[in-house]
Every structure is written in structure tokens, then in C-alpha cells.
Structure 1
Amino acid sequence: MTEHIKHSPPKARTSHFILVLAPILLAFSLSQFFRSAQALLAEPLRGELAVTPEQLGLISGSFHFAFALMQIPVGVMLDRYGPRLTNGLLMMATVVGVIIFANAQSVLGLMIGQAIIGLGCSAAFMAALVLAARWTAPEKFAAASGLIVSFSLLGVLASSTPLAALVETHGWRTVYYGLAGISLLAVVLDLLFVRDNPPGYVAPDHKGETVFEALKGMVSVWKNRQVWLLSGVAFFSYPAILTVRGLWGGPYLHDVFSLNAVEVGNVLLIMTIGMILGPPSYGQLSRKMPGKIHGLIVFAVLVGAGACLLQAFIGPWGVGVAAVLMLIHGFIGSSATLSYAASRQAVAEHQIGRALTTVNLATFAGLFVLQGIAGLIIGQFDAGSPGGYQAMFMFLGIGLAVAGISFWFGAKRKRD
């Protein structure tokens, strides 16, 4: 690091940081909700608009495709303009996208709405991480990012049983109109309360950076071997979890175990609890085990692989078995916190935004690809066939295993 942060007293800095971060966390929680809600909306969309498995994959994937496309410009914008303006302005698009989705009368309309929502939510997580990088000491970044991810998963929590209950009583369109209002509130709070830097922080001055210089900086990040290794594992790790929790877990539980919407929401709630507890746990482990972050990443990815393969072969034995495997996958299989912490350490401070968004780009490219392929796999079988879901879980498990082993040998070679 060539730049240094001038820290204010810890107590004042921490309390101020929480106030500054809160609006970004609301935006990030909404992002988590929107990317996870399709698991509960699958049945209403099937019934009202006759959406097929392949089309459901495209609808959900539209969010992730637009989100991924925005990661390169978001990285440049965060380093150039800061989290407050970048997230606040993009979240305005979220409001528009939610309204379009709520009014959609076709698959195309749903895809357009989801894509605009994805575009609008594309800066929230990275904005929170950039704020954490500026407001916390480097050795505390992994723990801070773990808490950020954990808190944001309240949005995933809301997309389980609470969403199922609201959809049953008010309909999914009414729910989305309400979400448009909450998204607008997030914009207002962002612009009012978010501050890019703590008191005494001397920020690197990159506002005079030309487009060519910004792109050159992006290329230098892409040349970083560590960033490439982390991007490779990011393509499979969290995308596999969200392919289950955010999309196909709901239809799987409905079709294989004949659960109703609220019962499906209850099981997905169990997986969500694991997803909430996992990131801060790994954040604390990384502080207590310095130098072991690569081993922790490999462990998490291989646990995820095992959970998916077991889900394929013993999950159908009973809903209790399936729920436990989902809990294990969500809790122990999440290495996202570790990947972002490692990427933050791999580059100079003025490139943090671009490094984080590069890893995030790989994550959401993986979501688009994995969810789409999962839909194609399930679509090859008869509607509601357990065989389709078994094949999907096998695909996810094998992909995770390959990613974990490849990362292990790549990181080991780097150390050697």
C-alpha cells in the first residue's frame, strides 16, 4: 500500500461508519431479495403467465446478465466518483425496473424488468465493500465484509417465508409495487447519509483520470494472477448456492416433495440462515488463521460440491435430509467473503474498486451461466421429474469440485 488512512478514534469511527453504511446495506439487501425471489415466484409465474423452466432461467438470468455487464463500469465509477453517487444514481434505475416487472404481461416484459433491476442493483455490494476498505483497518476488512454480507442476507431471508405469505395474501404484483417504494427510500437515504471517506482520510485523487487511464488501470487489475484465480472460483462458488436458493430450490421442493408455497419458504429459510451465519464465521476465521485464506476458500468450495452431490443422491430420501444439505451448503459452502478479502489485498488501494468488481463480474457471469444451464437440464426431463433436479445437482457439484481443485493447484503453484 502506498496510501495510508488516517484513522479517527475507533469508537467514533465505528458509530459513524454504521450510520454511513446503513443506506448502502438497505440497497444491498434489496439486491439480495430481487436475485433470490424467483424461487418463490416460480409457481405464480407458471400459473399466471405459463412460464416454462427454460424461460424461468432466462428471467432470473436477466438480472445477473445486466448485473455482470455493469461490473466493469461500476468499478471505474467507484474509484472515480465514490460509493455515494455511484450507488445512489444506479438505484434510481432499480425503482424503474421493479415497476416494469410488476406490470409485465409476458416473459419478455419480466426479462426487461429483471434486467433493469439488475443494472440498478449492480453497485450496492461493491459500494459497501469500498466503504469498508476506506473506513476499516486492512486486517479487519474480511470480518467487516462478512458482516456486510450477513446483514444483506436479511433480503434473502425476506424472500423466503415472508414473501410466500405476502404473495398468497396480496399477489406478487402488489408486493413488487411496495418494493418499488422501498427502493426509492434507499435512493433518498443514500444521497442524504452516505459519506465516501471517514474523517481524516486522504483519498487518492483519481477524478482527473482520463477514460484511457481508467481502462489502463482496469487492464492492470486483470493481469493480476491472484485476481484471476479468485475470479475462477467466484464463477462457481456463490453462483451454485444462489442457483439453488435463488431459483431452482423452490421448484425442487415443490415438485419432489409436494410442498406448498409457505412450506417451501420455510425450508429455504433454513438455507438462508446458513447463508447468514457463514460469511461472518469465515471472516473471523480468516483473522485467527492469517495466511490460510486460500485453504479456507478451497475447503468451502469442496464442501459445497459435496453438499450438491449428496443432494442429488440422498436428498430425495426426505425433506429433512434435503433441508440439512441446503443448510450445510449455505453455511459452510460460502467462500464469497474470503474471495473479496483476498482480492482487496491483491491490489493497490486506488484499484480496490476495480479488483472487487472484477471478482463480482465473475460471480454474476457464473450466476447467469449456471442458472441458465440448470434450466436447460431440468427442461430435458418431464415437468416436475425428480430426475431433472438430480441431474442439476450433479452438474453443480461437479462444477464446484473442478473449481475448488483448480484453485488449490493454482494457488499452490503461485506460492511455490
Structure 2
Amino acid sequence: MPTALRVFVPFALAYLLSYLLRVVNAVAGAPVTAEFDLSPAQLGLMTSLFYMGFVITQFPLGILMDRYGPRRVEAGMWVVGAAGCVVFATAGDSSQLFLGRFLIGVGASIALMGPMTAYRHWFPPEQRALIVGLHMACGGVGSALGGGPTEALMDAIGWRGVFLVIGAATIAASLLILTVVPRRHEPRHPTDTRILAREMFAVLTSRTLWRIAPLAATVQIGLLAVVSLWAGPWLRQVVEMPTDEAAAWLSATSVGLIAGFLGYGVIFSRAERYGLSMHVFVIGAIAVMLCPILFIVLPLEATPPIWILYAAIGPVAVHTYNITSQQFPVEMAARVNTALNLVVFACAFLGQWGFSLILDLYRNDEGAPTREGFQVAFVALLAIQLVAMLPLLLAKSREPEPAPVRPS
């Protein structure tokens, strides 16, 4: 197998599983909610714990990957994800559900940052945007599997069986990464952890990071927190679609996601040649902000296709990892990516939970979310995104500050 494929395929398959785990509650959430009598706020909290797992791991992951390399670290983290699947599948009460979901998030928290770090070492700058687009498209395939295919599998073996199957697949992904990805580019003389931590703090306090992080994070709330969980309830409970028709729309939304990942890969690859990547991101971010407005103003029967549009343009912020990491030395790639990811998933956790709390305030007599609740939540999301754009628009200079320099 060519070296490029040995690097790409194992990481991409693991990312497919991470995206499946991210969105699976859009389908599995209904039977889980019924069995454990969860409110919309409880369902939102349980699902958002996936992102809390991301938040608490980003700081140590950045240091570990720069010290030991992404291959070994990602293989180990997926074992934790598999354990989370088992805990979730065997849960006897809601607290065990919450713990399982959290552990799944901890394991999956490296699924994007590991490859981003590896690709920085293995591929030249002009190829990275396209490689990242292809990688993210595999996540879109995972999202598609979280629709109709998961519904069919759940009918056959139940939601608990679905999570056991995914858990077994994550173990296989861990072994594939460990045995197939080449060891070249792994640090031969690991840097002292204290130096790595000091540099990580320097990244976290960097103007370069905070100029772009607020907008990158809040734009991704739409994709990570809204589309992944609330597209299904909107279709089933607000539009009042039959379950099988809603599952078909969710799968179509995943096709939009794949198209977005691939399309942005090509667009950013070309933009990179002319130094226009940041301009593309800002234009894409503005387009993402238009989607909540469409959900608010359009008649209900016209809204299902908007979920496809939302999924297609939502991935624009993924390329901010590449934009930001290029402002720092290559040996700091993991810490730069995980610093940005920490901000992104902290916002995803708060965004998904906050969205759920708003919906909980506007439940109907059957306890289901209403369109009025969605409208209020979408207005709140749009306001947050507009505020988050200010640091980028008000920046006095687009030139990055000097990156932290390691003492000799």
C-alpha cells in the first residue's frame, strides 16, 4: 500500500466512526429517551457530554501527540471510546448513559486532531486542504450511516446492540492505526513535558488563536450541536414526518455534509495558493449564519431541504485548523490544533446544552419541542455568532504575532 494511503486510510476510517458516534443519537435518541424518560434538556445534556469529553482532553492530547506522535496516542484513545460504547450499551439508568456518552467523547476527541497533526508532517501545504476535505468527507459517510442504516440496524438488534457493534469497530480502528500508519516523523527525542506545557499555554494566550477561535467555534455549533442532534426532532416532532421519512432526510443531510467537505477541500486548496483562505472562511461563516434565519421565516414544509444546505456549508470552519496551525512551527502542530479544538468543543458543549435548555422551555403538552422554541434558540445562536465575528473584524493587523520560541 502506498505510504500516503497508509497514513490516510486508518485515520479516515476512525474519523468515520467518530462522526457516526457523534450523530447516532439523532436516530437512537428516540428509543433511549422513551426507555429512560428523558426530557429534551436531559437528552441535550447527555448528547453534549460527548463534547465535554473533547474539552477536557485537548490540553493533554496536544502535549502527548507532540511528545509521542499521533499514531500511538490515537490508538490508545480509541480503547477508551470502545469502553464508553460498552458502558452506554449496558446502561441501567441515566447516570450510566451519561458516563458512557462522556467516555465515548473522550475516546473520539482525537479523531480529527490526530490526523490533522499527522497530515501536517506527511503532506505539503498545497495538498493539505484537499486531504483534510477528503478526511472530513469520510466523517460525512459516518453521518450518513447514522441515518437510515442505523435505523435499520436498530430495528434488527436494538439501540444497545448498535452501540456494541460500534464499540467493536472502534477496537478494530485502534489496531489498524497502530499497525498500519508508518512510524516515521514520530519524535525520537521527546521534548521535556514542562517545555511543551509552557508552549501550550503560550498558544492558548496567543492573539493569533483568539482572533479566529470565537468565530470558528460558534460557526461550528450549527454543525456539531444543532444538525447532529436536533435535525431529527425537528423533522419528526415539528414538521411531523413519519420516522422512516425523517431518517431518509437525515441521510440526505449527510450527503450534503459529504459534498460540503469535498467542496471546501477543493475551494480551500485553490484559495491557499493565492493567500485567500481567511476570506473564504469569512464568506462561508456568513452563509452559515443565514440558515437559522431560513428556519425562522420559511413555512414548515419548506424547511427539510434547509438541513441539507446547513450541513453542506457548515464545515467551512474545519479549515481554520490548517489556517491557524500554519502560523506556528510544525513541531507545535498538535498543540495549536488542540488549543483551537478546545475552544470549539467547549462552545459545542455549551451550545448544544443551551439549545436544549431553550427548547425545554417551549415544550408542548406531549413534552416535545416546538417551532417557537427552535425559533428562539436559532435567534440566540445567530446573536452569539455575530458577536464572535467582532474579534476578526476589529483586528488591527492580520499579521500573526511571533510564535513561541523554544529555548535552546
**Same fold flag (TM > 0.5):** yes
Kindly report which structure 2 residues correspond to 1:273-352, keeping only aligned pairs within 5 A, or say none. 273-289=255-271, 290-314=274-298, 316-318=299-301, 321-352=302-333
Unaligned runs of 5+ in 2: 401-408
Q: Distance in 1 between matches of 2:332 and 2:171?
A: 30
Residues 259 and 281 (structure 1), Cα distance of their counterparts in 2 relative to 1, 3 Å cut:
same
What letter corresponds to residue 277 of structure 2 in structure 1? I
Of 382, 393, 398, the residue aligned with 1:414 is 398
User: Does structure 2 conserve the Cα–Cα contact (< 8 Å) formed by 1:98 and 1:180?
Assistant: yes
Q: Distance in 1 between matches of 2:349 and 2:189?
A: 32
What letter corresponds to residue 359 of structure 2 in structure 1? I
Kindly report which structure 2 residues correspond to 1:66-215, keeping only aligned pairs within 5 A, or say none. 66-197=53-184, 207=190, 209-215=191-197
Look up the match of 2:404. none
SS of match in other structure, 1:258: coil
Residues 294 and 411 (structure 1), Cα distance of their counterparts in 2 relative to 1, 3 Å cut:
farther
Q: Distance in 2 between matches of 1:155 and 1:412?
A: 41
Residues 345 and 325 (structure 1), Cα distance of their counterparts in 2 relative to 1, 3 Å cut:
same
User: Does structure 2 conserve the Cα–Cα contact (< 8 Å) formed by 1:21 and 1:131?
Assistant: no
Look up the match of 1:233. 215
User: Does structure 1 conserve the Cα–Cα contact (< 8 Å) formed by 2:136 and 2:258?
Assistant: yes
CA deviation after TM superposition for structure 1 residue 168, in Å: 2.5
What letter corresponds to residue 230 of structure 1 in structure 2? I
Superposition RMSD on alpha carbons, in Å? 1.9
Residues 211 and 183 (structure 1), Cα distance of their counterparts in 2 relative to 1, 3 Å cut:
same
Structure 1 ranges of 4+ moved more than 4 A: 203-206
Q: Distance in 2 between matches of 1:412 and 1:303?
A: 24
User: Does structure 1 conserve the Cα–Cα contact (< 8 Å) formed by 2:41 and 2:357?
Assistant: yes
CA deviation after TM superposition for structure 1 residue 365, in Å: 0.7
TM norm structure 2: 0.92
CA deviation after TM superposition for structure 1 residue 20, in Å: 2.7
Look up the match of 1:7. none
Unaligned runs of 5+ in 1: 1-11
What letter corresponds to residue 334 of structure 1 in structure 2? P
User: Does structure 1 conserve the Cα–Cα contact (< 8 Å) formed by 2:218 and 2:385?
Assistant: yes
What letter corresponds to residue 31 of structure 1 in structure 2? S
User: Does structure 2 conserve the Cα–Cα contact (< 8 Å) formed by 1:227 and 1:346?
Assistant: no
**Number of aligned residue pairs:** 394
Look up the match of 2:405. none
SS of match in other structure, 1:414: coil
CA deviation after TM superposition for structure 1 residue 222, in Å: 2.0
Q: Deviations 1:33-64 (Å, cap 9, x if unpaired)?
A: 11111111221122111111111011111111
**Corresponding position: 1:364 with 2:364:** no
Residues 206 and 216 (structure 1), Cα distance of their counterparts in 2 relative to 1, 3 Å cut:
farther
Look up the match of 1:60. 47
Look up the match of 1:8. none
TM norm structure 1: 0.90
User: Does structure 2 conserve the Cα–Cα contact (< 8 Å) formed by 1:32 and 1:155?
Assistant: yes
User: Does structure 1 conserve the Cα–Cα contact (< 8 Å) formed by 2:52 and 2:346?
Assistant: yes
Q: Distance in 2 between matches of 1:288 and 1:133?
A: 18
